[in-house]
Amino acid sequence: MKVAVISNPRHRTGDLIEFMLLRAVHTFHHFVPVDLLVVEGELGEAEEGFLSELFRSMKHRKVDLPVVWLVRGGAESLPPAPERIPVNAEEVAPAALVERIRAAAGGFPEFHCSPFEATVAEFGADGSIRTGRCAMVVPAVPGVGDYHIHTRVAYCSENMDIPKALEMARLSNVGTIAFTEHSGQLYFCADDYWNGRYVWRTRGTEAGCRLFPRMAEYEKTLQEGESAGKFLHGFELDVDRNGDVALDAADRGLAQVRLGAVHHLAERFDPHIAARQFLFCTESLLKYGVNILAHPFRIFAWSGLPEPPELYEPVAELLKQYGVAAEINFHQNEPRLEFFDLCLKKGVKLSLGSDSHNLYEVGFFLPHFRFLTELGVMGRLDEVLFQFHDRKE
């Protein structure tokens, strides 16, 4: 059995510790799986509704990780702690379980300050307890940027807010961030976008998808955020089946950073046709002049198709040819080491993207750094990571 313990969150109004708690819940549900999360100690001067985003996000993303609250302070109405918790072959009171882990770990780190560490304890069948720490923030590394962050304008935004996103990036040791909004969502209504009709029914034709212009709203959102700090902005560009990129010439001034992404396939039932279509749409984006190819190959899993490893070589070669970076992205996505290793061998730059739709995700690079470690490049990130000044105009 594995148990994670967060000690003394000590929230203060405006410190965004609630999103670090939310980050921990998602970490221990998906990236560092445990059987139970315990939050203990001082909750702090939490105002009413302080944890509402946490519970809402857990429900929205179907996170079923059990969380036990053993905290003091705050105005939250939290679920009562169970009287006993099964640990291997015995039943233990939650407070006693925490003290066992505390003794084995030699104390708990304070969660209310960087690097926002939790303790992870693994119980052996012989009664032994092995402990370690898991930080919610990666070490500060020069040149690390998050080039894939959405805004409140996105149809898929959960709670995005530019000033809070900038603060989350600062807390996460990420110096450069770019807000890159779905271009298709700024031209089409939600129903046409999510159902992929824009892929089949090209804009500007008699039978095309009707325009639902929202670019002015995106521009206003960026302008409202300028007083909170420096950031880059641009688009996650969508492309239709004809290879036409959804971005009008009049709107290109907002495209400092350009991500390209295949979000919908016109053909999803024949894997061979889908593979050819993906390759065509990908090259169309690269020809257009994107800086980064977002979440390569994710569309296949999202379309219920097997990922085609035979495309790794041609896509990596196209990225090399056009000087475009490959994005490491863990948002509902599992990047493949084989593809990114191939990119590295060809000299293709790698870009880190949180693909944030929720504030807890901004600058959350724990899985990305683990992936970079597996690739064997942590000692030379300055050589392999995309930097904004690397872009081609």
Kindly write down the DSSP assignment for every residue of 241-300, as one continuous string: TTS-BS--GGGGGG-SEEEE-----S--S-HHHHHHHHHHHHHHHHHHT-SEE-STTHHH
- Determine the pLDDT at residue 163: 98
- The CATH 3.60.21 portion of the chain extends over 2-135
**Amino acid in the structure at residue 177:** I
The answer on pLDDT for 148 being more than 60 is: yes
The answer on pLDDT for 392 being more than 50 is: no
- Distance of alpha carbon 115 from the chain centroid: 18
For domain 145-390, the CATH superfamily is: Metal-dependent hydrolases (3.20.20.140)
Round the average pLDDT of the chain to a whole number and report it.
Answer: 94
The answer on pLDDT for 64 being more than 90 is: yes
Phi, psi of 35 (to 5 degrees): -90, -20
The answer on pLDDT for 391 being more than 50 is: no
Q: Residues 311-327: what's their mean pLDDT?
A: 98
Measured at the CA of 134, the angle between CA 129 and CA 135, to 5 degrees, comes to 155
The 10s digit of each residue's pLDDT in 220-265 is 999 999 999 999 999 999 999 999 999 999 999 999 999 999 999 9
- Determine the pLDDT at residue 393: 43
Q: What band does 390 get if pLDDT is binned at 50, 70 and 90?
A: very low
- The CATH 3.20.20.140 portion of the chain extends over 145-390
Buried residues in 204-213 as b, exposed as e (16+ CB within 10 A): eeeebbeeee
Please tell me the distance from the alpha carbon of residue 333 to that of residue 155, in angstroms, as a whole number. 19
Please tell me the distance from the alpha carbon of residue 390 to that of residue 393, in angstroms, as a whole number. 10
- Determine the pLDDT at residue 75: 60
Please, are residues 337 and 375 in contact by the beta-carbon 8 Å criterion?
yes
Please tell me the distance from the alpha carbon of residue 235 to that of residue 281, in angstroms, as a whole number. 17
Percentage of the chain modeled with pLDDT above 90: 86
> What are 3's strand-pairing partners?
36, 121
Burial of 124 (0-12, 13-18, 19+ CB in 10 A): exposed
Counting every residue, how long is the chain? 393
Please tell me the distance from the alpha carbon of residue 289 to that of residue 249, in angstroms, as a whole number. 13
Please tell me the distance from the alpha carbon of residue 61 to that of residue 53, in angstroms, as a whole number. 12
- Determine the pLDDT at residue 209: 86
User: Which range among 137-141, 148-152, 209-213, 378-382 shows the weakest confidence by mean pLDDT?
Assistant: 209-213
Q: Residues 175-197: what's their mean pLDDT?
A: 95
Whether CATH 3.30.750 fits 2-135: no
- Determine the pLDDT at residue 253: 94
Which CA distances in Å does 173 have to 137, 194, 362, 380, 382?
7, 34, 11, 18, 16
The 10s digit of each residue's pLDDT in 14-60 is 999 999 999 999 999 999 999 999 999 999 876 777 888 899 999 99
